[in-house]
Amino acid sequence: MLSPAVLVTVAIVFLPMVQTAWMSLHDYILYRPKSFDFVWFKHFVAALHDEVFWISLRHTAIWIFLTVPSQMLLGLATALLLNQEFPWRGLARALVIVPWALPSVVISLMWVWIYDSNYGVLNDFLLRLGLISKSIPWLAQPSTALYAIILTLTWQGFPFFAVMILAGLQSIPRSYYEAAAIDGASTWRQFWHITLPGISGVLVTAVLLRTIWVANSIDVIFVMTGGGPGYATYTLPLYAFIKARTNLDFGYGSALAVLFTVMLIGLVVVYLRRVGKAVQS
């Protein structure tokens, strides 16, 4: 009875992946279900010659390397603050998590409304402060669209970091700080020599999990801009999804998905080699 449970889990989770890999080696377009020709690596070669593939790849890199560090820094600051003592700490800890619990569709639409070029509160706010002279269509112009979505995702994800880091902070014994204070260590040195090593394990894990999630998250982009204007907010997983959903080209879509996954695994391996080692030593 128990080994079936493991088998079911493995089947549910791994079979679809194997099937995708298999599909990526075939010509498979959904409205022509009869033709399922084996084409070797044709789609992969095609991807390398596909301009949109390279655009999406560049956006994916910007997407990951801007979003994850911003989430982490904001999360770290939040965690350090929430670890201080103040009367309404419990309430603040509970409230800060709210963005993370909201459905991504709600988040996306909420921010579309905030960014709205005619009635959006962001433009209104910036106009009143005198920072801009006329309304900016944040999501409708290619130069700002990607960054506007990155801000949204930072907002969504920083509580996760805050909570993970806070748990790490609480595991550092108070006596360390007391000893350091007696020895005359400054706040900064205490942070550098006690706090940072104390939370490094949690930090490494959180960055890893978050990188994977951020890289894969396409629902926010899909709802906010659908990849547009033009290709301005295409990331690789989104491109794969649109290829399959709109063009029904499952062969090419799968190939893009597989290609992206391989690259992500590469990134994770490099990360673990470098950072994992640095932390252990």
Partner 1 sequence: MIVRKRSLARRLLTVDMPVVAILMFALGPYAWMFLTSVTEKSRLFTEGPSLAAATAENYIRLFRTVGFWSNLVDSFIIASGTVVVGLTVSVTAAYAFSRFDFPAKRWLLLQFLVINMFPIVLLILPLFIFMRQLGMIDSHVALIIANSTIAIPFSVWMMVSYMNGIPRSLDDAAMTDGCTRIGALWRVVMPLCLPGIVATGIYIFITSWNEYLYALTLGGRNVRPITVAIQTLIGEYEVEWGLLTAGGIIGAMPATVLFLIVQKRLISGLTQGAVKG
Footprint of partner 1 on 258-277 (CB under 8 A): 258, 260-261, 264-265, 268
- Options 53, 63, 111, 138; binder of partner 1; rule CB under 8 A: 111
- Residues of span 228-247 touching partner 1 by CB under 8 A: 236-237, 240-241, 244-245
Helix 104-115 × helix 142-170 angle, to 10°: 130
Q: Does 168 bind partner 1 (CB under 8 A)?
A: yes
Distance, CA of 154 to CA of 156 (rounded, Å) = 5
Residues 60-99 that bind partner 1 (CB under 8 A): 74, 77-78, 81-82, 84, 86, 92, 94-99
Number of residues that bind partner 1 (CB under 8 A): 83
**Rounded CA gap, 145 and 32, in Å?**
36
- Of residues 171-190, those binding partner 1 (CB under 8 A): 181
Residue 183 Cβ vs partner 1, minimum distance, rounded to whole Å: 14
* CA 244 to mean position of chain CA atoms: 22
Residue 227 Ramachandran class (φ > 0 left, ψ -120 to 50 alpha, else beta): left
Segment 122-161, which members bind partner 1 (CB under 8 A)?
124, 155, 158-159
Taking residue 199's Cβ as centre, other Cβ atoms within 10 Å add up to 23
> CB of 187: closest distance to partner 1 in angstroms?
11
The verdict on 221 binding partner 1 (CB under 8 A) reads no
Q: Please return the burial class of 201, using the count of CB atoms within 10 Å of its CB with bins 0-12, 13-18 and 19+.
A: middle
Q: Please, what is the minimum distance in Å from the beta carbon of residue 92 to partner 1?
A: 5
